[in-house]
A = this chain, B = another copy of it.
Amino acid sequence: MRTRPLKVALLGCGVVGSEVARIMTTHADDLAARIGAPIELAGVAVRRLAKAREGIDPALITTDATALVKRGDIDVVIEVIGGIEPARALITTAFEHGASVVSANKALLAEDGAALHAAAEQYGRDLYYEAAVAGAIPLVRPLRESLVGDKVNRVLGIVNGTTNFILDKMDTSGAGYSEALDEATALGYAEADPTADVEGFDAAAKAAILAGIAFHTRVRIGEVHREGITEVTAADIASARRMGCTVKLLAICERAADGRSVTARVHPAMIPLSHPLASVREAYNAVFVEADAAGQLMFYGPGAGGSPTASAVLGDLVAVCRNKLNEATGPGESAYTRLPVSPMGEVVTRYHISLDVADKPGVLAQVATVFAEQGVSIDTVRQQGRQDGGGEASLVVVTHRAPDAALSATVEALRKLDTVRGVASIMRVEGE
């Protein structure tokens, strides 16, 4: 074993960073044995010096992250500060000054992964980011390496713990969205500003990263169709229950049937209770991967949190350190297929549409005509009087598979019917 240590700089010392530093210290001997050389925490960049950092030598702490990555003696930079800047500039500077990078930064990778990969390649460094997607659940490495000899056709999963906690709470307790969000906030599952989670930005970033790796192409977060869960109502969940379904926020990456394009989307969807994803509770994550030869695989585990994310960071750290000792680099970006990303309108999916309609003869025929005009085939219709004496009824329609554009045009046309008083809920149906 080499005795000269590999030097590691840590950018960020929050929930994840402090856990990474702790494990690097307490498991130093194991990590050294597994790498083939000891590792040394050579510097920790933080925003504010004032805070106490338990177990970290105060002499290592600096507020000058740029100077740290420019030192020139750093072998690996661990970036766990998140956000676009200064993370992007720091990573690029790290490559320039001799370091490989382990990052947990999903937003940056989904926004500008291609440029980061190009910089890594230019300087002959590694860029590893298992921790950016679904915490400790191995997904990036299985897709990049285990399934690299196969053809992945679909990735479908729950990749955001906060929204899964909220939807699970709504499903089990009958609570409304705000009430469930409040509970998630109180328990620490949702941040004070929950926008990134509940509006689906976090899941969309992960979908972009997964789609890119799975299909060997480039997908940016802006190309991911995104709908959050803020519009999901207790009535939607109850409606799903009546269909033998539950509602989950899904990230879905698909290769088109003709193989010539891909799609990536994040939206709430009804899935049957018999589907394995339906039983993913609380803040857990789970991802299905469908490949030609491998068939259907599922990966399940805690999708966030300091320790699980640190586990993923440290796995990458060991890999990158081994590569350094081998004077080699691991697999870089693979985007040779250059498949275009199709817009949401071309995605083939199914809708569950709940309509408030006038309770009189001929309404169903009118509604059915609208579907037929848009070329959308109906799977089931459930019609019921609302029994509130208002002369209204509800009509619940589940369609067969059709392009999303045709489905949404159908909804627009339905809204214009005199007999349709309102569209109570629209939700896609997946997992069948």
Contacts and interface: CB of A to CB of B under 8 A. Distances in A.
A308 interface: yes
A311 B136 contact: no
Contacts of A177: none
A329 B326 contact: yes
A188 to B, nearest CB: 16
Interface-centre pick from A31, A150, A331 (highest chain B CB count, 10 A): A150
A97 interface: no
A314 B297 CA distance: 16
B295 A298 contact: no
Given A138-B146, A295-B307, 9 more contacts: A23-B149, A34-B336, A138-B142, A146-B315, A147-B315, A149-B311, A276-B279, A294-B307, A328-B328
Contact of A293 (B148, B150, B311, B331): B311
B138 A138 contact: yes
Interface of A: 19, 23, 27, 30-31, 33-34, 130, 135-138, 141-142, 145-151, 216, 276, 279, 291-302, 305, 307-308, 310-319, 322-323, 326-329, 331, 334, 336-337
A147 to B, nearest CB: 6
Nearest to A291: B311
A137 B293 contact: no
A9 B315 CA distance: 32
A294 B137 CA distance: 8
Copies assembled: 2
A314 B299 CA distance: 20
A216 B33 contact: yes
Contacts of A322: 331
A296 B301 contact: yes
A149 B293 contact: no
Contact of A149 (B31, B301, B337): B31
A135 B293 CA distance: 11
Nearest to A286: B298
A331 B326 CA distance: 10
A395 B373 CA distance: 68
Contacts of A145: 141, 145, 315, 318-319
A150 B27 CA distance: 9
A216 B34 contact: yes
A319 B138 contact: no
A102 to B, nearest CB: 10
Nearest to A336: B33
Contact of A297 (B137, B294, B296, B327): B137
Nearest to A22: B293
B293 A19 contact: yes
